[in-house]
Structure 1
Amino acid sequence: MVPSPTPNPLSRLLIFPAVLIAALMAVVFVLAAFNTDPPITDPDVYWHLTNARHLVTTHHFIRADTDTFTVNGHPWINFEWLSELPYYYAFLHFGERGLFAVMMLLAEAIILGIFLLAWLRSHEIRAALLTTWIAALLATVSLAPRTLLFGWLCLIAELLILWTYKENKNYTWALPPLFFLWINLHGSWLIGFVFLLVFIAANSITVTWGSIATTAWPRPERNKWLLITALTFAALFLNPYGWRLVAYPLDVAFQQKLTLLYVEEWASLDFHLFRGKLMLAVLLGMAALNLIRRRTWLLADLLLASITIYAALTYSRFLFLAAIVLSPLLALDLKDLLGHQAAKPNKPLINAAAIAILIFGVAHLYPTQTRLHAQVAAVFPEAALPAIRALPPNARILNFYDWGGYLTWNIPTRPVFLDGRTDIFVHEGIMKDYASVLNANQVFEILDRYRITHVLFPRGGPFPYLLLHSPQWHLIYEDPQTQLFARQPLP
């Protein structure tokens, strides 16, 4: 009997599921490249670029504000300094295309990570692919050149470490270095640390209650995890700001109420929108599948899922968290429902051709620098920059919130009223006054208090309308999206 030839490693990779994964990556690209709200116009990216420029040019970490005239010199820490550098260097060398490339690399890595988590939990590739498609749609809530993407990538790495431990694969040694990186990348490390504590607590007790079943670790194993947790906590203090950076996420949660009130992504989930309906469908689907299958839940899974659902329903930005945590659990629910799949003959050449077509399509559709810059110019006051540069050196401009970082990046010598950092402006009362002006409340009192000489705002809205009809102010520049006002000279 002649033995069948052993397939080469390349043919093992060129299987049909690889085509589906490549298609998923292409869809994520399309969602970003052709979004009606272009991701490249996220306003936060410009103050992140400004922070990175300061670090690279001065070789000193920011410890006080230097970009505004309202809080100049007030203490401030750059809590995402490490994740700003890749965006900065990409923009420095490749412009908006570089920003888009870094964002896409992070987004694709996250989606692949979610697929890996889903396959790890279910060991069923169809269930993993299906739930990852759903996760990709939920993840569009933060599909932009944001530092937060680094945080979500770290969370995936942590969950891989925690969930593979159940399969006797011990990578717990990687937790301290992971959190050392994480705290310097983004404040979402706190979510990961809470997850770590919940995971340990859930595995420290024996529970047999209905569909919940968990056996406690032996005492030596619990002690080992406590040691790892202590080392991980110690690693958090290996940062340029010490305990202040460790305490920062708590400050956001408990001391920055206006941040949660006025920033859109901190609003509760809107079930009238597509992502809200999709999240509701995921929750109802998981409930229905568990009624049908009545599978056993690990206590850690139940607790982490509960925390995630609460977070996603309370703040829409945590839909991304739901995509990461719930998708693998949904794949586990779908595992038996999909049934056994009969083996099919592999067609590596056809699969390779399909993947090549997808790669060619993405390369062909990759947005040009001209197109990306046009998107930026349509959202930010690019046309108004010459008029702003021509203002007197002592001009004090009350700028639109979303434009603060853009103005500082393009005109670093002219301090702004506020930018998207939010936290320092909340603490110093600037955000409260800005909100009053935005709603045409106590406008002239606030303008006088800050000795505002000019106002730069989008056309329309109650505040610009009030200035247009005030004898104290006159319009000195306008274009289709921007209006620049100047105060009349005092008699």
Structure 2
Amino acid sequence: MSLAVANRVTSVRMTPALLHLCVGAGIFLFLFIVGDRLLHDSDTYWHIKVGQWIIDHAAMPYSDIYSFTRAGSPWMSNAWLSQVIYATAYSHAGWAGAVALTALAVAAALVIFLNLIGSCFEPVHRILLALLAFVVSSPHLLARPHVLALPIMVAWAGGLIRAVDQRSPPPWVLLPLMVVWANLHGGFVLGLALIAPIALEALWQSKHDERIAVATQWGLFGVAALLASCCTPYLHNTLFAAAKILSLGPVLSLVSEWRPADFSSIGPFELALLGLIGLALSRGVVLSLPRIALLLLVTHMALSHVRCVEVFAFLVPLAIARPFRDRAAPAIHAIDARASWLVSTPAALAVIGGALALSLAYTAHHDFVFDRAQAPAAALDALRQHQARRIFNDYQFGGFLIANDVPTFIDSRAELYGQQFMMKYLRAAEGRSRDEVAALLDEFKVDGTLLTPDQPAAQLLDQMPGWTRLYADDFAVAHVRVAPAK
């Protein structure tokens, strides 16, 4: 190596891309090591089960085959691609495969996020923002389809916002992302919804004589994105299936991840919300009215539904990054990529190889285990030995039953069961009336129950004639019918 080249190599600092890759690799390894925490929701079970069914039958489900209360009812899997990916990973590597896939998706989302805000903040500030987004989102980072769609959500939203910030035409190159998103998860409707406020801002900042052209461009882009979202095996029905869950109304607030944010004790979301408000006030960040409306919409979503917190965590920094830079006018130090490729390329390969080697080494000495509170295996075995076939189950046990080929009374496919049925189930599970519980169990000829120990209905069954407790542990209580249903 010549002296000139050596001096050039040693004088080059770490490139932004390499820095972002190192952060992503660190997040991946962290999530992989604490991977058991990603297996805390029994929905993972039924997503893998559906994915395996799709692989085995080379077909898409159009009706329910997993419950006995809605058997044969119309149902479509709008996360079919995620389910197939998870099923493939699970079949090859067990829970380690599902954990690695989830960790990789989160890491990819953070790397994309860092690249999008890279020109607006110094390295230390953008890393802090990325870590903040990660911490705020962490309660909802689970081995489920919405996490696989997270990188696409970040890229889509960031791409739209960047186009407006740079006063560029709509980013048509992002349309393939919408196709993939629509097949991965029903959250693609958020991507469609983001087009309107961002297009409004493009119109807001355009010159008077350009507004017709800008409106036409963004209008055509919106139509193209809508058509792209229909490029799924279910075609336009994907839109209806994704929107159906939003029509459940008040029942959504009774499902944990659809409940409003809880500020009874201070947490990451509250700290992030207050911190961003304080930052905007202290720096005097000025936003256009359409962008203010976008931020208020995203904040409202996060306050209304816990599952939307990650949308807030990633989209708010993306939305304020350029205005913050323009207001604060920081001196962002650029790196000459041409002078650093000799360092960055081998270093990037070393980072990726190191992360892979460490994850494989950890897998060899650690068995990933699903959360026992979501998988009541012993209680289910007791019910099977008693030959119980129609089981009134706790909502959170639905995925585990599906994975074990046991027809469910209910599971997390809320759009399948509908508002009326879910309200009837929830009233019974809360044990408000012995007669109401008995009537529901008789209506569906239930011969066994599988509930959590703290569920009021489980305690009520101890006192109901015709029922006896079969099994109980720290995670589940099983009852069986000892008298014929009326």
**For each residue in 1:300-323, what CA deviation from the matched residue of structure 2 results, as whole angstroms up to 9, or x when unmatched?**
533322221221122222210111
Sort the Cα spacing of 1:378 and 1:201 in 2 relative to 1 into closer, same or farther, 3 A.
closer
**For each residue in 1:368-409, what CA deviation from the matched residue of structure 2 results, as whole angstroms up to 9, or x when unmatched?**
685422x434541123343343343x7211111111111111
Structure 2: which amino acid aligns with 1:309? T
Alpha-carbon distance in structure 1 between the residues aligned to 2:210 and 2:195: 15
Residue aligned with 1:109, SS: helix
Correspondence list, 1:247-396, <5 A: 247-253=240-246, 255-271=247-263, 272-291=265-284, 295-332=285-322, 335=325, 340=331, 359=355, 363=359, 366=362, 371-373=367-369, 375-377=370-372, 379-392=374-387, 395-396=389-390
Residues 1:466 and 2:460 are matched in the alignment: yes
Correspondence list, 1:85-234, <5 A: 85-120=84-119, 122=120, 124-165=122-163, 166-167=165-166, 172-206=171-205, 217-234=210-227
Q: Please report how far the alpha carbon of residue 446 of structure 1 lies from its aligned counterpart in structure 2 after TM superposition.
A: 1.5
Residue 141 of structure 1 contacts residue 319 of structure 1 at CA under 8 Å; is this kept in 2? no
Sort the Cα spacing of 1:364 and 1:229 in 2 relative to 1 into closer, same or farther, 3 A.
closer
Residue 102 of structure 2 contacts residue 148 of structure 2 at CA under 8 Å; is this kept in 1? no
Alpha-carbon distance in structure 1 between the residues aligned to 2:442 and 2:96: 42
**For each residue in 1:384-435, what CA deviation from the matched residue of structure 2 results, as whole angstroms up to 9, or x when unmatched?**
343343343x72111111111111112x2x31211111221224x3322221
Deviates more, 1:475-484 or 1:46-55: 475-484
Structure 1: which amino acid aligns with 2:257? E
TM-score (norm 2): 0.84
* Cα RMSD for the two superposed structures: 3.7
Residue 62 of structure 2 contacts residue 74 of structure 2 at CA under 8 Å; is this kept in 1? yes
Match of 1:425 among 402, 417, 427: 417
Alpha-carbon distance in structure 2 between the residues aligned to 1:377 and 1:447: 26
Alpha-carbon distance in structure 2 between the residues aligned to 1:6 and 1:304: 49
Residue 204 of structure 1 contacts residue 216 of structure 1 at CA under 8 Å; is this kept in 2? no
Alpha-carbon distance in structure 2 between the residues aligned to 1:127 and 1:270: 28
Alpha-carbon distance in structure 1 between the residues aligned to 2:10 and 2:293: 41
TM-score (norm 1): 0.84
Deviates more, 1:241-250 or 1:437-446: 241-250
Residue aligned with 1:70, SS: coil
**For each residue in 1:144-173, what CA deviation from the matched residue of structure 2 results, as whole angstroms up to 9, or x when unmatched?**
111112333222222343244344776723
Q: Please report how far the alpha carbon of residue 332 of structure 1 lies from its aligned counterpart in structure 2 after TM superposition.
A: 4.6
Q: How many residues align?
A: 472
Residue aligned with 1:220, SS: helix
Residue aligned with 1:79, SS: coil
Alpha-carbon distance in structure 1 between the residues aligned to 2:198 and 2:109: 22
Alpha-carbon distance in structure 2 between the residues aligned to 1:219 and 1:7: 54
Residues 1:407 and 2:406 are matched in the alignment: no
Residue 79 of structure 1 contacts residue 186 of structure 1 at CA under 8 Å; is this kept in 2? yes
Q: Please report how far the alpha carbon of residue 64 of structure 1 lies from its aligned counterpart in structure 2 after TM superposition.
A: 0.9
Alpha-carbon distance in structure 2 between the residues aligned to 1:105 and 1:217: 42
Sort the Cα spacing of 1:384 and 1:7 in 2 relative to 1 into closer, same or farther, 3 A.
farther
Residue 312 of structure 1 contacts residue 321 of structure 1 at CA under 8 Å; is this kept in 2? yes
Percentage identity across paired residues of the two chains: 22
* Structure 1 residue aligned with 2:428: 437
Structure 2: which amino acid aligns with 1:372? F
Structure 1: which amino acid aligns with 2:476? T
Alpha-carbon distance in structure 2 between the residues aligned to 1:173 and 1:9: 38
Unaligned runs of 5+ in 2: none
Sort the Cα spacing of 1:329 and 1:225 in 2 relative to 1 into closer, same or farther, 3 A.
closer
Residue 259 of structure 1 contacts residue 423 of structure 1 at CA under 8 Å; is this kept in 2? no
Sort the Cα spacing of 1:54 and 1:263 in 2 relative to 1 into closer, same or farther, 3 A.
same
Q: Please report how far the alpha carbon of residue 248 of structure 1 lies from its aligned counterpart in structure 2 after TM superposition.
A: 2.7
Residue aligned with 1:130, SS: helix
Residue 28 of structure 2 contacts residue 104 of structure 2 at CA under 8 Å; is this kept in 1? no
Residue aligned with 1:384, SS: helix
Alpha-carbon distance in structure 1 between the residues aligned to 2:105 and 2:51: 19
Alpha-carbon distance in structure 2 between the residues aligned to 1:330 and 1:173: 23
Structure 2: which amino acid aligns with 1:141? P
Residue aligned with 1:256, SS: helix
Deviates more, 1:150-159 or 1:328-337: 328-337
Structure 1: which amino acid aligns with 2:196? L
Q: Please report how far the alpha carbon of residue 480 of structure 1 lies from its aligned counterpart in structure 2 after TM superposition.
A: 3.8
Correspondence list, 1:7-46, <5 A: 14=14, 18=18, 22-23=22-23, 25-27=25-27, 29-30=29-30, 33-34=33-34, 38-46=37-45
**For each residue in 1:453-485, what CA deviation from the matched residue of structure 2 results, as whole angstroms up to 9, or x when unmatched?**
111122243222222233311122334422221
**For each residue in 1:278-301, what CA deviation from the matched residue of structure 2 results, as whole angstroms up to 9, or x when unmatched?**
23323322332343xxx4434553
Alpha-carbon distance in structure 1 between the residues aligned to 2:11 and 2:287: 37
**For each residue in 1:111-167, what CA deviation from the matched residue of structure 2 results, as whole angstroms up to 9, or x when unmatched?**
1121112214x1533332221121111121321111112333222222343244344
**For each residue in 1:199-225, what CA deviation from the matched residue of structure 2 results, as whole angstroms up to 9, or x when unmatched?**
222212348xxxxxx888453344233
Alpha-carbon distance in structure 2 between the residues aligned to 1:81 and 1:135: 27
Residue 97 of structure 1 contacts residue 368 of structure 1 at CA under 8 Å; is this kept in 2? no
* Structure 2 residue aligned with 1:244: 237
Residues 1:62 and 2:61 are matched in the alignment: yes
Residue aligned with 1:474, SS: strand
Residue aligned with 2:39, SS: helix
